[in-house]
Each structure stands twice: as C-alpha cells, then as structure tokens.
Amino acid sequence: MWAFLTRTQGRGRLTLVDWLSYGYLAFGFLLIFIPVVWLGLNSVKTAFQIERQDISLIPGDYTRVARATVQGPDGKRIFFITDLPDWVLNWRDLSAADQAAQDVAGFLSAQTGDAALALRSHLGQTEPQALAVIAAQGLPDWLPRYRTMSASAKAEVNIEAALAGLSPANDRLLREFTGLYPGARLTSQILVSAPDPQTGEIRQWGVSNIDIKRAFTPARPVDAVNAKVTKLPTASLQADRNVQIAWENYIDPLSGSSYGVTVDFTRCLTNSVIVTIVGTAITLLINSMAAFALSKYKFRGQVMFLALILATLMVPPTITLVGVFKAIQATGISGSLWGIIIPGSATPAGVFMLRQYMLTLPDELIEAARMDSASEWKIFWKIVAPLALPAIAALGILSIVWRWNDLIVPLVAVATVKEAYTIQLCLLEFRGEHTSQEHYRLAMTMVSLIPTTLVFVFLQRYITTGIANSGMK
C-alpha cells in the first residue's frame, strides 16, 4: 500500500509532476470528503448544541451554568445556580422516559429559597404541585382552568377570594400556576472566565452565546445577584468545552424511541430498501431485455424504436412530472410503494447504455447458442446477461443510487401516505411536533449515505472485471 502510494514516475526524487499529482489527488479527496466529515461531526452533536447553532466542528458543549430569574415582592432577582447536575440543565431536551427516570421530587426537596422556586418551574413541577394543593385544600374546581379562561369568564369568578387563607408558599404556587404572578425562569448559559474590565480580577461569567465576530459579549458575573450586564471583550473569554458524542441521535430514531417526531424512521428505511431493491431489479430486467431486443434482433421499426427511446432522453423529467402524477393517480397505485417503483422502471438512458454494450457482444455467440438449441429466453439469461454483467452492474449502481436518493417521484406518488415514505421524504419531513429535531435529521442523513456507499464498494468489482475481461477502455 505504502509502496503504491509513494510510487513516483521517475526514479528516486519526487519530480514537480509528482508533487502536482499528489496535490491534485489531495485536493480532490478533500473536496469530496470534507462535506461528509462535516455532516458526520454534526450528526453526533447534541440537540442542544445544534439548536444553539453552535458552528464548532467538535461535537460537545461548553460548560454551562444556570441563570435564574425569579420575581419577588421587591422586584426581579437574577442570579446563577452553579453545580447543577446535567439532567437538570438539559431537562427540556430529555426524552419523556429520561425525565421520568429522574428523582425530581427528591432533588427539589433539597433546594431552598429562590433557587427552589426557579428549579420547580424549570422542572415542570408547578402544575402537579398546584393541582395537589387544590385537591388537598378543596379549592374551587375552576382553578386549574383559570389560566386558559376568557377575560369575561375570569370576571365572573373571584380568584382573590379563592386564594385567601392559603399559606404564603401555597399562595405563591397557585399564583404562578394561574398566571397571576410571573413564573420563575431558568436558562442555561455558557460559563466563561474572563478578567473583570473594571478591576482586572479574573471572574466567572455567564453568557448566552459566544460569537467571535462580535467584539463584545454581554455577560453577567456568576457570583453576584442582580448584577448589571457587563460588556466583555469577546477575545478575553475563556470557555471550557467538553466533547460529548450524542449517539442517541442515531439510536433513538433507529430504535423508534425518538421523542415526538412525526415519521417513523425505521419504516422509511425499510420502504427505501424495498423500493431500491425491487425497483432496481425491475429496471435491470426490463432495460436489459429491451436492450437485448434492440441490439440483437432485426425487426421492422427497430430504428424508430431506438429514435423514440433516445428522444425521451431529451425530455427533462420535470416536464413529465404532472403526467406521471396523473398516471399514478389513474392507475390507483398512488400511496403505495408500487407508485414509487413503477414510474422509474424503464429508463431510456439505461436501455441505451445496455444496448451499446450488447452491440459489442459478437453475434456469433448468440448464433452458437441457437445452434446449441437454446431458446431465446435461455440465450438472454445464460449468454447475453452474464456477458453484459459489467454494464448491468454499472446500471445497477446508477439505479440504486438514483432510487435511494430520489425525492421527486416519492413526493409525487406517496406524499400523503406516511406509511409509504421513503428515506428522502422522511428526511424532508423529519421534525418533531413542536421542535425541528435537526439533530435526528443530521444523524439519519448520515445513515442514509451508508447503503449507497456499501453498494458501490461491492458492485464496482464487477465493473472492473468487465473492463479487464474485454481488455478495452
């Protein structure tokens, strides 16, 4: 391998041409490879990182800190809560199962003061606790609905009377719950260390994001309550990154446990595999039989057929799209996988390519087979098809790649039927009910690249054998 890679055209020293060749090779390699690497790295970023639009190449995240905003009797209090466990910081990005697995009540009971208020609302405990209080104290049954009631409906009930006599803690809980009082908020911020512009002393700060294009980054010191926003020079910020590979981007959709997405990825994958295999098989069969007839039989109208096939090559597929849609609708295969498979079954380019290859097979072979009492069917299967294998393999690769990557035909054929989605439609439609779930989409795009790569690796062998056999090209 190494000997091959370091082979030079002259003896000994590398010549200028060698260097240029290496340079060209490396350039071409990078050109093809960089986007794939970029996709690969992005596909293992956490949902959190992707939503932040963190363009860093390294999957993982900055060390974070929680910033709490709590409304109190004497105004807003903004302060930082350090040393929170990851699951608390990332609570909103956890799946329902992961959330259920945490001991939320236990964690909250250990908290005190304003931090407890902020965490209670962050961890979604305001509602269950409020409902428990309503039930325990026998409060009016419209209270749980109060937040969503219309203004006129709210005027008919007396909320203040209902809340009278509660303990201060419960009063606050229900006021937050009914929306009378702004709830406490917790946001995750990047923890940076930077010198204080006034004192020059190194302090820890919370910033919402780091954009190196901006000269200054607004920040709040972590160790102060209600501190003013300070503008720190972005260049002076020091942030810690922890590399974190989010395999769950792959595992969740593939195991069907991705939270709140609208399409079933494994189903799409299966559909695509079926469409690709069946479609390619049909394409190869139809195209090679047509090519056989056009290259080895003489019949009336042969030239016209060929001209017709070539003429269809000139028509851009987008033009026929409406026709295809109508045809699929009319034949009733719309919405099933057949609707995707059948429209692309016979490809003029494929017929033409195979015909050109079959023309190079000597007629005498077919005549010899006829003398050997072979039926025409047998001649096709036993003589022509095996000998045209290099061309068939090449067409096979093209067909597989095309089928796998095709978006247009599935869009036309099955857009309304989620069960028949192929992988490309899936990727297009892949999003959560409320959020975009971009992390899953990136990972699944990566998965969608694997089959075509494998197919190429396995089938290219046949193409090269063919070239070696014929001794041409």
Partner 1 sequence: MTSIQLKNIKKSYGKTEVIHGIDLDIPSGEFCVFVGPSGCGKSTLLRMIAGLEDVTAGDLLIDGARVNGISAAKRGLAMVFQSYALYPHMSVRKNLSFGLENINLPKAEIKSRVEDAARMLQIDGYLDRKPGQLSGGQRQRVAIGRAVVREPRAFLFDEPLSNLDAELRVATRGEISALHQRLGNTMIYVTHDQVEAMTMADKIAVLRAGRLEQFGAPLELYNAPANMFVAGFIGSPRMNFLKAGLIAGAGQTILRLQDGQDIALSTDRFGRPASRPAVMGIRPGDLEITDSDAPLHMQVTAVEQLGSESILFGTSPCDEELVVTARGQTAVRVGDRLNLRPNPDAIHVFDAQSEESLALQ
Distance in Å, CB of 467 to partner 1, minimum: 14
Closer to partner 1 by CB, 294 or 385: give it: 385
User: Counting contacts by CB under 8 A, is residue 464 touching partner 1?
Assistant: no
Q: How far is the CB of 382 from partner 1 (least distance, A)?
A: 7
Contact status: 378 vs partner 1 (CB under 8 A): yes
CB of 378 to partner 1, least distance (A): 7
How far apart (Å, rounded) are the C-alpha atoms in residues 355 and 290? 8
Q: Does 303 bind partner 1 (CB under 8 A)?
A: no
383 near partner 1, rule: CB under 8 A? yes
Site stretch for partner 1 (CB under 8 A), options 311-319, 320-328, 380-388, 415-423: 380-388
Query: Which lies closer to partner 1 via its Cβ, residue 77 or residue 382?
Result: 382
Q: Which is nearer to partner 1, 327 or 361 (CB)?
A: 361
Q: Which is nearer to partner 1, 242 or 465 (CB)?
A: 465
Contact letters for partner 1, residues 385-424 (x by CB under 8 A): -xx-------------------------------------
- Provide the mask over 182-211, with x wherever binding to partner 1 is found by CB under 8 A and - wherever it is not: ------------------------------
Residue whose CB is less far from partner 1, 382 or 418: 382
Residue with smaller CB distance to partner 1, 49 or 295? 295
Among 167, 302, 375, 453, the residue binding partner 1 under the rule CB under 8 A is 375
**Secondary structure of the chain in HEC code, one letter for each residue:** CHHHHCCCCCCCCCCHHHHHHHHHHHHHHHHHHHHHHHHHHHHCCCHHHHHCCCCCCCCEEECEEEEEEEEECCEEEEEEECCCCHHHHCHHHCCHHHHHCCCHHHHHHCCCHHHHHHHHHHCCCHHHHHHHHHHHHCCCCCHHHHHHCCHHHHHHCCHHHHHCCCCHHHHHHHHHHHCCCCCCEEEEEEEEEEECCCCCCEEEEEECCCCCCCCEEEEEECCCCCCCCEEEEHHHCEECEEECCCCHHHHHHHCCCCCCECCCHHHHHHHHHHHHHHHHHHHHHHHHHHHHHHHHCCCCCHHHHHHHHHHHHHCCHHHHHHHHHHHHHHHCCCCCHHHHHHHHCCCHHHHHHHHHHHHCCCHHHHHHHHHCCCCHHHHHHHHHHHHCHHHHHHHHHHHHHHHHHCCHHHHHHHCCCHHHCCHHHHHHHCCECCCCCHHHHHHHHHHHHHHHHHHHHHHHHHHHHHHHHHCCC
Total residues interacting with partner 1, rule: CB under 8 A:
18
Least distance from C-beta 298 to partner 1, angstroms?
11
Nearer to partner 1, 257 or 465 (CB): 465
> Smaller CB distance to partner 1: residue 149 or 459?
459
Instruction: State which of residues 154, 382, 418, 431 lies at the interface with partner 1 (CB under 8 A).
Output: 382
Q: Of the candidates 158, 226, 356, 469, which one interacts with partner 1 according to CB under 8 A?
A: 469
Site for partner 1 in 332-371 (CB under 8 A): 362, 364-365, 367-371
Enumerate binding residues for partner 1 (CB under 8 A).
362, 364-365, 367-375, 378, 382-383, 386-387, 469
